[in-house]
Structure 1
Amino acid sequence: MKIDFVEKPLMRALWRRRLGREYYILKRKVGNVFGRTRWASKRPTKAMFHPIKEHSSMILRPLKDVEMYLQENKRTNLQLAIKHLNGIVIRPGETFSVWQKVGRPTASKGYLEGLVLHQGQVTKGIGGGLCQLGNLLFWIFAHTPLRITERHRHSFDVFPDVNRNVPFGAGATLSYNYIDLRVYNPTEKTYLIELWTDETHLHGRISADIPQQETYRIEERDHRVVTQYWGGYTRHNRIVQVITHPDGSEEERLLVENHAIMMYNPMLTPPANAQFETCSGTNS
């Protein structure tokens, strides 16, 4: 079993973080404009679409030391963002990007202060809470042959598991615009994304113009908690796609690996089914 060594996180100066952020935002904008990517978009289509996967996640989740108005604001932020994404069609050879469609979430566009995680700390930021959208989209994409070309993991595991119904790390963090979620359509099918909210949940569904013959299930492998040499705890796992073909044969594909610094004591609230290991400071 591989034991994962993770460096103790460094807190960089505020000016350095801000300048670095704007540099990467500009770099991504230039790449979007001058690159050759064919972007998915909202286009009229007469095709009949066949549902593949639907998923819902609770918007108002009580979290320790998090004021509920930030969760209410998250609902507004999600509603604003999904207006740009609901109804997008991903045709063969096209790429879907969250930020390429949503744009920069600003107060002038109606976005509110929401929950933002920075360096493992809970704070506030305009447009906060959109990671819930990234998590939902990742989950429904994972049940299709769409190829996830960009996905960023959460670097910190901030809250203990509460009513978790998907594996740890089976999601995607978002931060405008260089921390994005992108998928490419390598198939001959056309896919439709549908997103909506109600009083309690964010909902999403992905469909295709040709019925999907294979079935997909998402499973976790090698879930473990590691005690690091510097005294902290880290959480690790792999998320795999198990594909069942029409003839009954199965194949397994690695989707993502996760390595997160835990911001709570796992001895008090241990993650379910996790193995506990100790790291001396080197990989083995």
Structure 2
Amino acid sequence: MQRNHTHILRSLAAVLFVGLLSLDWLGERIPTLSAFTLAMFGTHTAAPSADPLDRKAERMQQRLTRHFGRSPSLASLRAALRERQKFFATLLTATFSVDGHSAIDVPEPWTVSLQQHPLWLTFDLTGNTASFVIDAQRVREDIATFGIPGVARPVHGSILGFTEDGKVLRATTDGVTPASGLMYDSDGVALLLAHALATGTSSPLSIPLRYEEGRMSFAQEPVQGSLVLLSSGRSNYAGSPWGREKNIEKAVREHLNNILIPPGATFSFNATLGGPVTQSRGWYEALGIFENGDELRPTPGGGLCQTSTTVYRAILAGGFPVLQRRSHSLYVGYYKKYGVGLDATIFPGSQDLVFTNDTSSYLLMQAATEGKDAIVNIYGVPDGRHVALEGPYFAATVPDDLLVHGRKLREKEIAWIQHIVRPDGEEQENVILSSYKKGIPNQVLVEQQTAEKNV
């Protein structure tokens, strides 16, 4: 009972002092408020001191006596206020080190002070002694809740279940998009800060960070485990007509997002569309390529190849075996950004994009738009393969030793080389060829030659 009584007194004292210090701070700047404060809490019995710190101590003593029937000495209160001033003058600098991923940018140094976190300082009233102390628990709670400014923690999502939609397995998720980030020991950081603030250290603090990939975890049987990002594909559709934009966004959000591909199974782009591409099924008219690449005309679903191209780029970056793919017969400017020459055309009933999941775990395909970029991410369990894409190569820039089907690269073609290194050291090299019936715009060739000169 005595302990609870003491705790309540300390809490009331802390609350009171927050108010008192706030009123004193304002009173020094607004004279009428000082008069109001005196009227509310009484007047001095002694001649006022010329030292603002002494005046604060005197007012605090009067109010403590009024509310609690007792108060520490003026000397103790003055010492506590001087201690508070020192606390608020302390400025800490924390630097970071990142373990687990050499390519991650190290966050900028973090500057910490009680000016930013005044509630980290609490008033302690014990017997006839007053003091200000760092509240380590409050520091710990704030770090756990709000984190460290400029340090993004990883974000994880869950796969709640899945359903079979024709030939496609579709996942139901919690809607969280995984994101990689930096982890740290919240309790350890809080203790480090609390100790540094309490001792007034001027030495820089060092906070270790650990890179962690965002993951998608299966929440139920029969599948277990976590999937991390294996590869991404991206394309840009800025400048597309309204109907083309709507088709791209429909394909991304309704047909390509949250597709599960079992181990050893194949993915068919056309199967994800779930039926004919017609206006009655919500597709808009936009330009498509017809007549063996000689004609552009409006067709329902025009622009779908933007999304198949995006999927294809994710497939290539993941090093998955491609079973069916064909480049467009005409060069399409929308596909220049993020990989000129890395495009894949589709047309339900005649041309598909197909690849195999050659890993031992499920793959999860997620798709989204970001501004005018279409993005496809493929999640899975890493098997140790490393993939690199080398290119693009044009007829004028191709190395002398690069042959395509035993011949030199032609003027209307773009080539890339895909390098795959397996965990056992086996190396695989694939030449990716795109051929365009009416050639490549001269501007593209000039831009590429200029870019190579600047490397």
Shared fold per TM-score greater than 0.5 = yes
| TM superposition shift of 1:123 | 2.7
1:205 maps to 2:377: yes
| TM superposition shift of 1:84 | 2.1
CA RMSD in angstroms comes to 3.1
**Code of the aligned partner of 1:49:** L
Secondary structure of the residue that 2:271 maps to in structure 1? helix
Separation in 2, partners of 1:129, 1:160:
10
Structure 2: any 5+ residue segments left out of the alignment?
1-165, 173-217, 220-224, 397-409, 451-455
Is contact 2:235–2:338 with CA below 8 Å preserved after alignment? no
Residues 262/214 of structure 1: CA separation in 2 closer, same or farther (3 Å cut): same
Secondary structure of the residue that 1:42 maps to in structure 2? strand
Choose which of 301, 322, 338 in structure 2 pairs with 1:127.
Answer: 301
Deviations 1:74-107 (A, max 9, x none): 2211232231221111111211111112022110
Residues 101/264 of structure 1: CA separation in 2 closer, same or farther (3 Å cut): closer
- The correspondence of residues 62-77 of structure 1 with structure 2, limited to 5 A, is 70=241, 72-77=242-247
Choose which of 318, 324, 338 in structure 2 pairs with 1:165.
Answer: 338
Larger radius of gyration: 2
How many corresponding residue pairs?
A: 219
1:257 maps to 2:433: yes
1:240 maps to 2:450: no
TM norm structure 1: 0.66
**Code of the aligned partner of 1:91:** P
Is contact 2:232–2:375 with CA below 8 Å preserved after alignment? yes
1:194 maps to 2:366: yes
Separation in 2, partners of 1:195, 1:268:
28
| TM superposition shift of 1:263 | 5.2
Separation in 2, partners of 1:268, 1:251:
32
1:41 maps to 2:169: yes
Is contact 2:394–2:411 with CA below 8 Å preserved after alignment? no
| TM superposition shift of 1:234 | 4.5
Deviations 1:152-203 (A, max 9, x none): 11122254986x331x321201112321101112221221100012442212
Secondary structure of the residue that 2:436 maps to in structure 1? strand
Secondary structure of the residue that 1:262 maps to in structure 2? coil
Secondary structure of the residue that 1:175 maps to in structure 2? coil
Choose which of 225, 231, 235 in structure 2 pairs with 1:53.
Answer: 231
Q: Where does residue 281 of structure 2 map in the other structure?
A: 109
**Code of the aligned partner of 1:272:** Q
Is contact 1:242–1:250 with CA below 8 Å preserved after alignment? no
Is contact 1:160–1:271 with CA below 8 Å preserved after alignment? no
Residues 169/221 of structure 1: CA separation in 2 closer, same or farther (3 Å cut): closer
Residues 240/126 of structure 1: CA separation in 2 closer, same or farther (3 Å cut): same
Structure 1: any 5+ residue segments left out of the alignment?
1-37, 62-67, 226-232, 275-284
| TM superposition shift of 1:113 | 1.2
**Code of the aligned partner of 1:87:** N
Secondary structure of the residue that 1:211 maps to in structure 2? coil
Residues 234/123 of structure 1: CA separation in 2 closer, same or farther (3 Å cut): farther
Is contact 2:418–2:432 with CA below 8 Å preserved after alignment? no
Secondary structure of the residue that 1:156 maps to in structure 2? coil
Q: Where does residue 330 of structure 2 map in the other structure?
A: 156
Greater helix share, structure number: 2
Secondary structure of the residue that 2:343 maps to in structure 1? coil
Separation in 1, partners of 2:427, 2:355:
21
Q: Where does residue 144 of structure 1 map in the other structure?
A: 318
